[in-house]
Amino acid sequence: MLYITFVAVTVVLCPVAYFGFCFIVYLYDAKALRRFQNLSFLSGLSDIQWVWESIRGRRYKTLHMAHQNATIVRVAPNVLSFNHPKAATAIYGHGTPTTKSPFYDAGHGHFKNVADTRDKEEHSRKRRLLATGYALTTLLRWEDKVASRINALLNQYDKFCLRLDVARRADAIPVDHRRWMDIFTIDAIHDIGLSANLRLIEKGDDLIEVQNSRGQSYQCQFRKSLWGNLRIHASFAWAPRWYGLLKRLTWWDSRWQDNVAFNDIVATACKHRIQRHLAGEKLDDFFSFLLGDKNGVPNMLMLGEMTAECSVMLNAGSETTGIALSNLLYLLIVNPNALERLRREVDEALDGIEDTKVAPFARIRYLPYLKACIDEGLRLLPPSATTTPRYTPPSGQDIMGYWIPGNTEVLCPTYSLQRNPEIFSNPDVFEPERWLSDNAKDLHTSFLPFSAGPRACIGRNITYMEQQMLIASLVHRYTFELIAPDFKPAYEEAVTCSPGPIPIYLFRRDET
């Protein structure tokens, strides 16, 4: 009986003591952050509210609503969100004194990749090492790999094409464009990155065989493994001090197994690629730049570092581009005037080519309206909707005229910044023409789908090439219908903000 009483008292007193301590810290306000509007009444006291929004998968929505009333919002005791281009430059721009925050430490092993290392010198070393591999001149050598995967996708889409009269029948089967965009990008990044021809598009599935750390083989779904990994990680990474404890308390969550499966996917892919290298195969892919420089001098990287770089490549190289491709076609379908203008531009560019099934990159690379559509899709529905935080330097930093004390987490939410009505007219409307206007250069200060400055996404050339080639090929070959005129995809946020299924009907243009 005494034991039960002790447990009951402890259960009651621990939360009381915790929030009591938090309230004292809040009143003391050592960093003078109480002057800023709170996301909620809990935000100044604890990380709980911010973690809860992450668990719900709607950080960007809650934050966007808060920014309707305030440019600066306190989302947690030591985290400030700024919705202004001047803040974006101060936090992410070239020459910024900020560093990546402890958010990047949560859940990571000993080896960091180019995206999550917090050390500036280490990041510079990695970026120099990888720059040639991610350069557009290098990617041009791999255009055939992208074209091969687009050709395979179009072969599959041709099978789903309907006659106009069939599409309006109740038994017509739509295509989940979202699912196929993921399968396409998974296939493409494996070929570009590791010379691995998985042929997932031909199979129509993302089931792959991997090995665990004990050498046992099993099969797993790439999409499920990656999304479960991202979802559970993002739920707790915003409270890095509590990450280990929260992981232990949620050991039963199946998404931790997805996390293990994705790590096995990466490790298996690296192992197979190294085996091919040791067998004497000369392969032209991203991994070759991890093995040695452009002159063939070995980099002598440890296996753990190469695996870490492959992890971010397979993650970002599939997930973010798949999201962008899914969003863009949806936005074009619901904005038919933009779709028709784009189609005319692409048709004209491909006129006179004998085989126009896959749009050659050289023909569509500089199409202004195609590029404007891609950028507008990334503005309106950025794959990274909240973006990631930075740490102010120990001495503090001026942001928008406010002195922010040292070691404070600061961020600019991409979704809100790119819908700021002070910068973008008609911010909630899909208007590719804005990127062709006289003030387009001014808009880029608030355009952060790839972040900005020295820590900007190193893989942006890959996503632009894939989007330009695939979107041009799709709009040239097909017309589209949503399953219902008012259909809207559901969105869920992890590290990225991912749409749910996007079912569409397809029609061959040369048969309508």
Judge whether 497 is annotated as a binding position: no
Cβ count near 432 (within 10 Å): 23
Q: How many Å from the N-terminal Cα to the C-terminal Cα in the chain?
A: 80
- 159, 194, 166: which is closest to 180 by C-alpha? 159
Bridge partners, residue 478, by sequence: 508
Q: Give the DSSP H or E segment for 74.
A: strand 72-76
Q: Are 449 and 440 in contact (CB under 8 A)?
A: no
Q: How far is CA 176 from the centre of its chain?
A: 20
Question: What distance in Å separates the CA atoms of residue 233 and residue 202, rounded to the nearest whole number?
Answer: 31
Report the amino acid identity of residue 496: T
Query: By three-state DSSP, how is residue 22 classified?
Result: helix
Pure H helices in 71-142: 85-92, 120-134, 136-139
Rg (C-alpha) for the chain, rounded Å, is 24
Would you call 37 exposed, middle or buried from its count of C-beta atoms within 10 A (0-12, 13-18, 19+)?
middle
Q: Are 91 and 417 in contact (CB under 8 A)?
A: no
Place of tokens 């999550």: 116
Would you call 28 exposed, middle or buried from its count of C-beta atoms within 10 A (0-12, 13-18, 19+)?
exposed
Q: Are 63 and 81 in contact (CB under 8 A)?
A: yes
311, two tokens: 């992890």
The pairing of strands 37-38 and 72-76 is parallel
Question: Residues marked as binding?
Answer: 457
Question: Residues marked as binding for heme?
Answer: 457
